[in-house]
Structure formats: structure tokens, C-alpha cells
Structure 1
Amino acid sequence: MKKLLALFVILLLAGCGASDSCFKSTGEIVTRQIDVSQTPFTKISVFPGIELIVSEGSDYSLSIQSGENIIDDVSVKIEGDMLTLKDDSGCNLVRSYNRTKVFVTAPNLEELYSNTNKDIISDGVLHFPILRLFSMDFFDGVGTGDFHIQVDNNQLVVESNHVSGFYLSGQTNQALYNFYDGIGRLEAENLIADDIQIFQRGSNDMILHAVTSLSGAIYSTGNVICKSQPATVNVNRHWSGRVIYDF
């Protein structure tokens, strides 16, 4: 038994690649400011281990909150108009989870990509004219964390084919909800949208609030639960999912 245990430990350390990384503790939580004021961006992609908090402001700013022993492993890269956030701390045997947060303030953002297992959250109301939220299983993988976003804008777009939940509130002129696959859930009864267009091929429900019009198509078992009675409804059913009015 002792030989088996020793072999297991050796294999575990070999899998980590470096014992220092595996056994490095988080340390005290500290905050570090990163100067992004001269490199504007409109898109953010977040990778595993990082929670993103977004706020609106006149200038670009970014701060990282993490353990003092691992904060150097948080990568901030801007290429073109894309800000990419990664936690490169690697193997983890002793560190606590949910410890790294990145706070971003920007005058305008257009796209947020979740490749993380943590949430993406808005701090306050976002007035970005067009905001697109992505949880799509392509290229660099897909996140399992949820979106908690409040807006007052012209258009909000959701693109999903996995498991993320979208918890939306505020108001928008137009909402586009596209669920191409998966069990992701839309909780947007508190997002008042004048016009809503849907593509529903997921197996979970969409809950929404349309004022003037609701249109689109249902291709799966997921229902579309409408918390209002829009003046115009044009939703084509191609499978068992249906529009349910609940108000």
C-alpha cells in the first residue's frame, strides 16, 4: 500500500509539471493596478479561474485582486481591440478557489467572451450601445460561469451553446437571444426589451419580457416563457418547445 501511495504522489507531481506550482499557497489577498489607459479595447475574453467585474466609466482601468503568491500568474494581454485575461498558475493542490477577480472599467465595450468557470458581472448599469455576450464552445473552449448583467442600451445580444446562465436586467430597445445547443438558461424577465428576436435550440427555458414584438423560431424542447403580452408575436415551432405566457 505504501508503494502504491508513493507511486500515486510521484505521478501526481509529474502531472503538475512542477512541485512548486502544485503546492504554492494563495497567500494574502492583494490588489494590483494595471495601466491600460493608453491601449483601448472593446472586447474581453476571460479564461478559467478568473471572475470578471465590469463597470462603465470615462477612462479605461483594470485591477487584479488575487493572492499575493499567485497574482503574478494572472496574464493581461491586449491585442488589437481584445483584452484577454488568463490565470497561468497551473497545478493546484492546496490553494482555495474563487480567489482571483479582475475589475475592468471602460467607456464602451462591445463583446464579452466567457471561457471561465467563474461569473461575469456588471457593477452598475451598463449603457454601452451594443453589447454581445458569448458562451460558445469554439476556438479556445467555453466557460461554465454565468453572466449577471444590467443594461440600459440600444441592443443586447446573447450567443450560447453550452451551460452558462444569463441573468439579465434593465432595459434595451432590442434583444437577440440565440441558444444554438446545450442547457444554458436565460433569466431575462427583468430586462424589458421593446423588440425580442430568438433562436431556441437549447433544452432549457428562456424567460423574457418583450413589449412590442417577439419573433423567431424554436427547434428543441426548451420553452420560451414570456412575462408580458407583446403586440406582435411571430414564433415558429419546429419541435416540442413552445411559447408560454406567464404574467
Structure 2
Amino acid sequence: MHRWARTTTPSHDATTCSDEEPPHSPEVVRNAMNSFLRDHKQPIVVRQVEAVSMDFHSRFHARGRDYLYQIYAPRQLVHDRHSAKRSLPSALFTRDTAWHVPVPLDIQAMSEACGYFVGKHDFTSFRGVKCQALTPVKTLDHVGVEVVSLPDTYPFGQELQLINVEVSAPSFLYHMVRNIVGALVEVGRHKLKPQDIERILHGKSRQLAPRMAPAHGLYLKHVKYDM
């Protein structure tokens, strides 16, 4: 069995694909996998199984990948120490599924910075130390930041905002998405200017880029195939 991509624990797969030989029908495979997952108390559900040709490889035949990274941040700066502590319990609900940034983020500046990532670049400054890719040159089709309104029933929904960072490309370097998100957050905190992204890219050194975002906010949203 081959998985379509490699992600770092504890990141999440919102979608996944694998390939293995018959003889079972897609429905039988789906039901068997869901039964196994339930028995082992895993919070995963297999929604669909499709038959593919024998030469199909779920990773190497992928033509594009969409990643989602989720961030929670306060809507505005809290100067009162007691009020600041009140927002901390929200981490109890999402501490394993999103990055909690303790200060407000400038969404407009982050959106401006996204533009510097789009296109074909040498991403040496945003590759992981253990990256084994033959070339650091990648082409990003889309990098965007969106604020999602939280429902009134959500704990501390009036104090927090959910920020989604979406990144799409045919392929990525090791830790590339998390390094991009780390830089965008520094722009949102005004530790970097949007145009600093261009300088960091041209510098071609991991030491020029900010720290990497934690793994638990990362989701693989979609994988594209020519099938």
C-alpha cells in the first residue's frame, strides 16, 4: 500500500488516498476499513473507495495538493490580565487541531505577504532541514488567508477569530507549508513586513526565515489526480 503524501505527526489528513491490489470490491474495502477504525477507536472515517489501474501510484501520480492551516487568534489586543486569561480555556477545545497565537494578527498584511509566495521560486529558505528533494524550486499556485466567522455558540467566539491559511501546489518541500505559515504569522504580528518575504526568498537560507508553525494546525485538504 502506498500513501499519496507524507505529513508530519501530528498534522491531519482531511483526505487521503492509497493503492493496493484487489480482489475485494471498493464497498467491501470501505466497510472493512471503517470497521477496523471503529474497533480501534480512531477518529477517522473512510467515505469513498475507488478502483484504479494496476500501475496507479497514489503519491507519484498526484498532480496537485491543497493544504489548510488553521490558526486561532484574539480579535483585539487584551490589556487586562484577567480578561486575557479568560481566552485561554478555548485551547482546551482545539489545542490539538489549530495553532493558538496569543496576539491579534494583521490579516491585511498577511494577505499582502501571500502574493510573494505565489509562482515559481527557490524555496530553500522555507524547506525543512531534513528535506531530501533534488531541487528547492517549486511553483505555488495559490497562497491565501481568510478569516472565518465563529458561531455565537462557540466558546469565546466573540473574542477569538479563526484564520485559515490555504496553500496549493503540484508538490511541496519537506516542512514547506509550515514554514510559510510561520512567516505569515510573523508578518501578522508586525515582526516582519510583507516585502520581507521577497528578501527571505532571495536569501536562500533557512536561517533567514522565522520559526516553523506547529504541526497540529496543518491539514491536507485535497489531492488532485488525472484519472
TM-score, normalising length: structure 1: 0.23
Judging by fraction of residues, say which structure has more strand: 1
- Whose radius of gyration is greater, 1 or 2? 1
TM-score, normalising length: structure 2: 0.24
Judging by fraction of residues, say which structure has more helix: 2
Q: Higher relative contact order by CA 8 Å / sep ≥ 6: 1 or 2?
A: 2
